[in-house]
Structure 1
Amino acid sequence: MRTHQLVLQWIENQLSSGELALGGRLAAERTLAEQLQVSRTSVREAIRVLEAMGVVRAGVGSGPEAGTVVIADPTAALGSALRLHVATTHLPVADIVQTRVLLESWAAARARTDSPALAEAAGLLDKMDACPDTDEFLALDVRFHLALAEAAGNAVVSAMMGSLREAIQSYAGKLTANLPDWDATAARLRAEHREILAAINNHDGGKAAGLVAAHIEGYYKEAGLGPKDSDPARQ
């Protein structure tokens, strides 16, 4: 095992045991290096890995923002990893879309009508109605779907959804070039969004799940990305 991995293992054990918690600070590099009998370079490398994973935030200088603090930001790290693997074509976009359908259908079926996220989703739909810009519309679309996932109250699903949406957001934008009539598609998407939200608010989770699946699959099918289409040249 490389020495920076020893540092990672020690920090993981500290987190698991409760010795180190969310908001807690790691000791200084020199202190950790002496305690673990490794080089400061190994400590620094381990902290960089944890920062990329969204587990810690490393600050320099002095003051309240200085030092290495334990945070919780899995979405950004997972999203970055997924984007890179999609770029290698190891993870076909069509497969990611199918995974998204599974997660969003599950979330829609279990969304809580008293969740503040649903009010946020409704406000996003109003903004989409008055949005002529394609990129802005797609950005609002991302936020709408994340709000629905958040309404289910499952932190892991929310994090995974955020990661998947980030991984395919650029593809959704690129695929608009394949659509015969963006204005017509945007109008259909807006109507489907409202149907999904209405089903959730009416406590019909089964209908909401079916509408979400049809909504997602319909967009990608219209844009030319079929369920078995994993050919990078067509993405």
Structure 2
Amino acid sequence: MKFFQNLLIFLFCTVAIFSSKAQTDTIQPQKWYTYLGMERLMSISEHDDKFILDLVSNDTLLTNSEAAADTIHIIKKLDENHFIIQKSSRSNYGLLKRTKFAGDEMISVGTYAEGETLESVEKKYNEGMLPSWKSLEERYFYSKYKIEKLKNAPGLDQITRKDLLTSLQWRKPLGEKLKMYLEDSNGERTYRVHRFVKDFRNRKFIELGYNPYLDIPYNFEKQFEGDEEVQRLLTEEISFD
């Protein structure tokens, strides 16, 4: 009788161990997606010790190759959103900021500082030595659910006048950061300002329910020909004078 009792205890423990392991194995890291260009996607998955970037199929959202496009190792987690990181191919360290929005439906990811040592990067974080314009370089990633919705969203050839005007109102949210960027870079990389504005407008298009990355031809100047306000906002130079 005692033998069977011991056997039952052993079997119960074995089942519990494997059940626990199975549950652990089924826990998947969180994953988000971003567009690299026209209908080209990249994913980022967050693990306990790293972030993994992969190129993925636009149709299936599955990884295109066995090898990860890039692996970012988490050396130290400073708070809920800030991580000291190191890439496999580099010896220096970086400060990565990852922010979640709308119940994890969207995240932003960007590098705010670099240094030769972990301590030097952590010092910049502790002393608040992080340029606010760095948020201009952040890339936005979206949940699988959001990306699937974007596949069926209208393209920019269907945009309304109201939504186009909304997307063109970038000066107030970006103006100060753009000026700080130009000061820090001594005006040597002004071409990036256009990229920052374009990225902002694409995020705004997505917020408004459009997919700016669909391979569909459009021409705002022709679509709104004769509309003086739209034409002015579309063609005016980016200037802060």
TM-score bracket, normalised by the shorter chain, equals under 0.3
- Higher Cα Rg: structure 1 or 2? 2
> Does 1 or 2 have the higher relative contact order (CA < 8 Å, sep 6+)?
1
Q: Scaled by the length of structure 2, what TM-score is found?
A: 0.24
* More helix as a share of residues: 1
Q: Scaled by the length of structure 1, what TM-score is found?
A: 0.24
* More strand as a share of residues: 2
